[in-house]
Structure 1
């Protein structure tokens, strides 16, 4: 069942607030992490939810993945989703890692285009 506009807006506000807290924690703990964003189609929520964690460089992203910091990022994501009162989703599917360096090289720094293409 599709969510109403009001319900979608309420969920999005709550999700943004809880992800902002996760982002601030990660900025302090994870070298090279810069920001995060989410994409979602509320007609297919929460299955369509994707949270993209963005690093400054490929090297920082790869280091985080190689040293297990992705586990911490998934923990922060799970905490944020719980705080936003969102039903559990498979974190291995909904959490993605990216970097500014790759966006610049492949999409000219256009994150909107990059995120739209990665959602398809």
Structure 2
């Protein structure tokens, strides 16, 4: 019934080898970081590594700092802007009204031309 593989049920790196096979692990330090939502994350760094001033909180994504009483402010996100909002940033109300009046005048002139053509060819 059971002619199976010798490594059945094991995974790479598993087994009694441990430190002897892989070597000594580097000395580590654990540094707590705090975000604006009062989350604490404690990553570990190699002892000789330079610890960053900020770390991303894995729970909310906000930046986290080392001072629990003064965490970094969350990033400010700009709300979605419509095309009209961008146009209003570039043009004043007077310029917009002038463009609208020009477009309406052209539309009315085109409509009057079409109506005149229709009346002339109706007979």
Calculate the TM-score normalised by the size of structure 1: 0.21
Greater relative contact order, per chain length (Cα 8 Å cut-off, separation 6+): 1
Q: Higher helix proportion, which one?
A: 1
